[in-house]
Amino acid sequence: MTLPAVIHSLRHTSPLVFCLTNTVVANFTANALLAAGAAPAMTNLPGEAGPFAKTACAVLVNLGTPSTEQLAAMDEAIEAANQANTPWVLDPVAVGALPVRTRYAQRIVSLRPALIRGNASEIMALAGHRSTGRGVDSADPVAAAIAAGRELAERHGAVVAISGPADAVVSAQRTVMVHTDGIELTRVTGGGCALGAFAAAAIAAGQDVFTSTVAAHAYYGRAAERAAALSLGPGSFAAQFLDALALTDPQELGAVRIEEL
């Protein structure tokens, strides 16, 4: 499948993405999925998360603001997703900086996520490398996290995506850099979190996790470039970015520099 074909398939199939995510970005995440053509849905309740994970096309587990109840729902969702062969994405928000989620992420990372998406500090912390992250911000360059990403990919059979000025997508076999100018996304909360959800939708719509992840990062970054050109500050950028997720032609992915390392 080509990169544009992944995005076309996403729009055509409108995959249902079950998001267990944080309260800060839930709205932006749902709107990003809707804009891109996917169908978001959320519940954080044990007793619902399991059944829902079985009917969804993909599941996102984002550790941004866990509650005790949401963590129990995540356990249930992951187990059900694995039983049903539903792909699930792990976004280890602020892992390394905050203790409860760090222990939790270290446990669930072994439960076969299809994709792990985070910033450099989060990926390094999750792999057990020394990182210097501060809350949700990365203090480490993407290049410094590629070895950690490779380790996670080999250990858990997952694709690992590391977000930064250029994004790295890493598997046990390959490393690809996706070059877009997404700097404005760092001025909007949930810029990375919604990318994790969008990648989940692309995985559901595509044929292999690696290609879908590259397609999601390339399209997302391209939409950010388009939105940045049409906005003055972070408020107008956020609205333009949602528009761009709906309006950017998937064929524009041909203009994104994809670098095989």
Q: Annotated binding site: which residue ranges? A: 42, 117, 163, 190
Q: Which residues are annotated as a binding site for substrate?
A: 42, 190
Does residue number 241 form part of the binding site for a second copy (CB under 8 A)? yes
Render the burial of 78-104: b for 16+ CB within 10 Å, e for the rest. bebbbeeebbbbbbbbbbbbeeebbeb
Q: Which residues are annotated as a binding site for ATP?
A: 117, 163
Select the residue interacting with a second copy from 12, 51, 84, 229 (CB under 8 A). Answer: 51
**Strand 159-163 to strand 257-260: parallel, antiparallel, or no bridges (unpaired)?**
unpaired
Residues in 74-133 at the binding interface with a second copy, rule: CB under 8 A: 94, 97-101
Q: Give me the amino acid identity at 189.
A: T
DSSP 58: E
Compute the distance between CA of residue 148 and CA of residue 71 in angstroms, rounded to an integer. Answer: 25
Please say whether the beta carbons of 140 and 96 come within 8 A. Answer: no
Report in angstroms how near the CB of residue 6 gets to a second copy at its nearest: 20
Report in angstroms how near the CB of residue 155 gets to a second copy at its nearest: 26
Select the residue interacting with a second copy from 1, 5, 34, 111 (CB under 8 A). Answer: 34
Residues paired with residue 98 on neighbouring β-strands, in sequence order? 95
Compute the distance between CA of residue 71 and CA of residue 101 in angstroms, rounded to an integer. Answer: 9
Return the closest-CA partner of residue 32 out of 184, 239, 261. 239
CB nearer to a second copy: pick between 219 and 241: 241
Q: What are phi and psi of 142, to 5 degrees?
A: -60, -40
Report in angstroms how near the CB of residue 116 gets to a second copy at its nearest: 20
Does residue number 187 form part of the binding site for a second copy (CB under 8 A)? yes
Does residue number 134 form part of the binding site for a second copy (CB under 8 A)? yes
Report in angstroms how near the CB of residue 207 gets to a second copy at its nearest: 23
Q: Note the residues at the interface with a second copy (CB under 8 A).
A: 16, 18, 22-28, 30-31, 34-35, 39-45, 47-48, 51-52, 55-56, 64-69, 94, 97-101, 134-137, 186-190, 231-236, 238-247
